[in-house]
Amino acid sequence: MPFELPPLPYDAGALEPYLTRENMELHHDKHHQAYVTNLNKFIEQGKVDGTKSLEEIILASDGPVFNNAAQVWNHTFFWNCMKPGGGGQPLKDLAQAIERDLGSFERFRQEFTDAAVSQFGSGWAWLVLAGGKLQVVKTSNADLPMKHGQVALLTCDVWEHAYYPTYKNVRPKYVEVFLNNLVNWGFVASNFSKAGK
């Protein structure tokens, strides 16, 4: 069964001025679509069992199959990590867990920013649940927390295609705006509560 590109959970222009419509259309309609198309080609070619779930394929594969399957998952997750009018601070349980495990919300911001800005080349910055504790991690290319036994709660795509159309080479500004204006803390909190805390 072929995989399909899920629609963005908001209009492509809804995150303006923080991410332009052009930026979002390119990222979703071209890049995310390409990963879906590639994964479906591997299924057609018999290199992947198309009856498996995306998660099963990610956990069982490596090389090009893993790269494309993981990027399908990463992008769908990433779109949901943002919303128009996002940013601000997490509420209640999640805010307490951030204080407990990372020291303070400010410390979280600093760690997440450092991870996102210092990731050399393409990759992702994440807030994850690892062994029952919140942790900030970064991954290269398509790599993702589930491959390391961690549960993803929040991510920021730091591949150049994610921010170049809006921010050119200024990745730190993109990361700052992501945290200040885009993060969908409701989605992060729902991931946290689903993970059983």
For 86-141, give the secondary structure using H, E and C: CCCCCCHHHHHHHHHHHCCHHHHHHHHHHHHHHCCCCEEEEEEEECCEEEEEEEEC
Task: Please choose, out of 47-55, 103-111, 156-164, 173-181, the segment that lies near Mn ion by the rule CB under 5 A.
Answer: 156-164
**Using the rule CB under 5 A, is 157 a contact of Mn ion?**
yes
Q: Does 167 sit near Mn ion (CB under 5 A)?
A: no
* Rounded-to-integer distance, Cα 1 and Cα 84, Å: 33
Nearer to Mn ion, 128 or 157 (CB): 157
Between 71 and 113, whose beta carbon lies closer to Mn ion?
71
Q: How far is the CB of 174 from Mn ion (least distance, A)?
A: 12
Minimum CB distance to Mn ion smaller for 8 or for 157: 157
Q: Which of 159, 163, 167, 178 binds Mn ion (CB under 5 A)?
A: 159
* Residue number closest to Mn ion, CB atom: 157
User: In the beta sheet, which residues pair with residue 73?
Assistant: none
What radius of gyration, in Å, describes the C-alpha atoms of the chain? 16
In the complex, minimum distance from the CB of residue 74 to Mn ion, in angstroms, rounded to a whole number = 7
Nearer to Mn ion, 159 or 192 (CB): 159
51 phi and psi angles, rounded to 5 deg: -85, -10
Q: Which tokens sit at 186?
A: 């409701």
Distance in Å, CB of 21 to Mn ion, minimum: 16
Q: Which residues are CB-neighbours of 47 under 8 A, at least 6 positions away?
A: 65
Contact call for residue 73 and Mn ion (CB under 5 A): no
List residues binding Mn ion (CB under 5 A): 157, 159, 162
